[in-house]
Amino acid sequence: MNLRSPIICLITGGQGEVAGLVREAASAGVDLVQIREPQLQGGALVSFVRQAVGEASHTDCQVLVNDRFDVAIAANATGVHLRSDSFPATRVRSLAGPGFLIGRSVHSPAEAVAVTQQGGCDYLIFGTVFRSRNKPAGHPVAGLDALRKVCQSTTLPVIGIGGVSLENIADVVAAGATGIAGISLFRTEGGIRSTVSKLRQRFDTSP
């Protein structure tokens, strides 16, 4: 599946929020909403994702489920985002068929090369690029040089994650990222619409 550039991805923050957040994100032009709600299991997670899919309907926003292919299918989500240690994307592709969006987290250029060669993925998420308040103290930070190397090692779109802000987005773009993902990035005082507009401006004006 083709993704337009830049790819702007909002990740839910594990607080059980959905209706207002996804509705606002979709109407503001967010491309992907990744549902990451580890506290929800089974039917509760399916219901949560179904509500998100409903809120994003009639927009170009696509709803993905973090690592739960079964939930994504049950809730009629657009796709799934796989953890770096999850099962192969080719397995998902063989079950889901064309049109189903599949992403994967990677943490090194070597991992990006391996995942690209294996096939099945539509995009990669790489991080943590900068220090992030959503990660515990001492969590490894990859940095911009590692992001640049990952972008150079794959033909897939690479989305940068981890501490990305309006202040450093130009550096992320310069490193070769096709998009950005975040949680707290979209919780700014100006609201999601303002943040998305500014992010797209940064991509458009970056060399």
Distance between CA 202 and CA 207 in Å, rounded? Answer: 10
Do 119 and 103 form a contact (C-beta atoms < 8 A)? no
User: What domain count does the chain have?
Assistant: 1
With respect to residue 121, please indicate whether it lies within any of the assigned structural domains: yes
What is residue 75's predicted lDDT score, i.e. its pLDDT?
97
Do 158 and 178 form a contact (C-beta atoms < 8 A)? yes
What is residue 184's predicted lDDT score, i.e. its pLDDT?
87
Average pLDDT, the chain: 91
Domain with 176, as residue range(s), is 7-205
Is this prediction's pTM over 0.85?
yes
What is residue 94's predicted lDDT score, i.e. its pLDDT?
94
Residues 200-204 have a mean pLDDT of 89
Distance between CA 189 and CA 134 in Å, rounded? Answer: 18
Using 50, 70 and 90 to split pLDDT, how confident is the model at 17?
confident
More confidently predicted of 2 and 77: 77
Lowest mean pLDDT among 8-17, 79-88, 158-167: 8-17
What is residue 86's predicted lDDT score, i.e. its pLDDT?
96
Token representation of residue 18:
């959905």
What are 183-196's pLDDT values in tens digits? 889 887 788 999 99
With respect to residue 1, please indicate whether it lies within any of the assigned structural domains: no
**Tell me, what CATH number does 178's domain have?**
3.20.20.70
With respect to residue 11, please indicate whether it lies within any of the assigned structural domains: yes
What is residue 207's predicted lDDT score, i.e. its pLDDT?
64
What is residue 13's predicted lDDT score, i.e. its pLDDT?
82
Residues 73-82 have a mean pLDDT of 97
CA distances from 2 to 101, 132, 157 (A): 9, 29, 10
What DSSP element (H or E) covers 122?
Answer: none
Cβ contacts of 6 within 8 Å, gap of 6 or more: 173, 178, 179, 180, 199, 200, 203
Long-range contacts of residues 136-145, Cβ cutoff 8 Å, at least 24 apart? 142/107, 144/171, 144/172, 144/175, 145/175
With respect to residue 36, please indicate whether it lies within any of the assigned structural domains: yes
What are 120-179's pLDDT values in tens digits? 999 999 999 998 766 656 667 889 999 999 999 999 999 999 999 999 999 999 999 999
The answer to whether residue 23 scores a pLDDT higher than 80 is yes
With respect to residue 2, please indicate whether it lies within any of the assigned structural domains: no
With respect to residue 165, please indicate whether it lies within any of the assigned structural domains: yes
What is residue 134's predicted lDDT score, i.e. its pLDDT?
60
